[in-house]
Structure 1
Amino acid sequence: MTIRIAIGCHSYVLGEGLKKLFKDDEGTEIIGIFDEGIDLKEIIKLQPDIILADLKIFRTFPESVPTDTVKILLISDDSWISEVERQLPELLLRGVCGILPPDADSDMLKKAVKIIYSGELWLDRKLLKNILYNVTSMEKKIDLTKKEKEIVSLICNGCRNKEIAQRLDISEQTVKSHCNRIYKKVGVSDRLQLALYTHKLWPGHI
């Protein structure tokens, strides 16, 4: 199935450059390039699966982005990466499913697109450091087993179920069962909410 991508860029040159990166990728289709002068509703009508946007463009988006039908992948640069770190929980709540670091190459870009299209979260490991799970704080609030703590730490390091299973030498189904119990104990329903919960435990670290 082809992944439909709309590119939102304040720079025409950058937008065209991003488009060329996907030129020979049979699994994706660039359906348009837009800037801050375009109403997001018009872009949504094109039915993109993913909107690839820089922060300047993202700031023009309304609060009510239909996150059930479209996912947002942010392109970062050195001038505002620290701002992203501070606003990460808000960005996630507004539909951002991935953030590319300033030094991302074409391979990382394509991988990020596939990951978030599959329903996973894509964050640079430098950003993930700022939302690592604080096990000590968690212990005071929630009674997690040693295995559950290991899984939480791996989740917050960006590991998917398959990788967690390999690292802990357990089956993917066992990982899923552990995750469901963790979500129930913490009071969340998915990995994204778990990351946001971590942010609450570490105020000022993001």
Structure 2
Amino acid sequence: MKKQITVLIADDHSLMRQGLKQILELESDIKVIGQASNGEEAIHMTLEYKPDVVLLDINMPSMNGIEALRRLKDMGADSKIVMLTIHDDREYLYETLNIGADGYVLKDADSETLIKAIRDVYKGKSFIQPSLATYLAKEYKAANGDSNKSSVKDVLTRREYEVLTLVAEGLNNKEIAERLYISEKTVKNHVSNIFRKINVNDRIQAAIYAYKNNIKKL
């Protein structure tokens, strides 16, 4: 039998926790093993139950999600952590990812986005909603300054450069294939080559690279 992804939900609103639990347990490969109502409970239950993934709300009483995230990372917890928040908390995006969050999902996201986030971080990938990629990249650029822009076009082919601009827009492989009138397999090969050439591991890092290097449509 295929192993289920165990999930701990940490949110101070009971209705939100119950709603998330019902949505997630419709998936055969996901099982909710605990619910916490504040940051301190989230830490205790994460260390006790060792869930594969923790859904961690940022705004909670007693201890907020950012402090809970920081302490879990300091304690060496192995669980992958996906931050849950509302639009008004977007200023925390860069901070939480810098601390070590594995994913960042807005509470108004559809269920498919949340489920993909859980599955992706479980597999060792990072996840951030494409709509937030631009914001993250701008924060990264402000914090780290400009980098050398002259070598980007020398590293990538014209087509790879074009694909990278669309990755930075948040498009998936299928959408890029449709936009460029090429096969999805070809896009996948281009993305793999891009990752290797610019030395990144996932689409979030590629989007950051694109904005940091001022990569724009040709």
Same fold (TM over 0.5): yes
Q: Is the 8 A contact 2:103 2:117 kept in 1?
A: yes
Equivalent position to 1:126, from 127, 131, 134:
131
- Identify if the C-alpha distance between structure 1 residues 175 and 121 changes in structure 2 by more than 3 Å, giving closer, same or farther: same
CA distance in 2: counterparts of 1:131 and 1:154, whole angstroms: 16
CA distance in 2: counterparts of 1:171 and 1:25, whole angstroms: 26
Query: Aligned residue for 1:38?
Result: 41
Q: Is the 8 A contact 1:71 1:95 kept in 2?
A: no
Matched, 1:109 2:114: yes
The one-letter amino acid paired with 2:104 is I
Query: Aligned residue for 1:150?
Result: 162
Query: Aligned residue for 1:57?
Result: 65
How far apart are residue 28 of structure 1 and its match?
A: 1.2
List alignment gaps of at least 5 residues for structure 2: 59-63, 142-146
Q: Bigger shift: 140-149 or 159-168?
A: 159-168
CA distance in 1: counterparts of 2:162 and 2:50, whole angstroms: 39
CA distance in 1: counterparts of 2:129 and 2:200, whole angstroms: 23
Matched, 1:72 2:81: yes
The one-letter amino acid paired with 1:28 is I
Equivalent position to 2:24, from 22, 45, 63:
22
CA distance in 2: counterparts of 1:179 and 1:104, whole angstroms: 25
Q: CA RMSD of the aligned region, Å?
A: 3.5
CA distance in 2: counterparts of 1:23 and 1:189, whole angstroms: 30
CA distance in 2: counterparts of 1:100 and 1:43, whole angstroms: 19
Q: TM-score, normalised by structure 2?
A: 0.67
Query: Aligned residue for 1:141?
Result: 151
Matched, 1:98 2:136: no
Q: Is the 8 A contact 2:46 2:79 kept in 1?
A: no
List alignment gaps of at least 5 residues for structure 1: none
For this pair of structures, how many residues does the alignment match? 194
* Partner SS state of residue 49, structure 2: coil
How far apart are residue 162 of structure 1 and its match?
A: 5.4
More helix by share: 2
Q: Is the 8 A contact 1:51 1:71 kept in 2?
A: yes
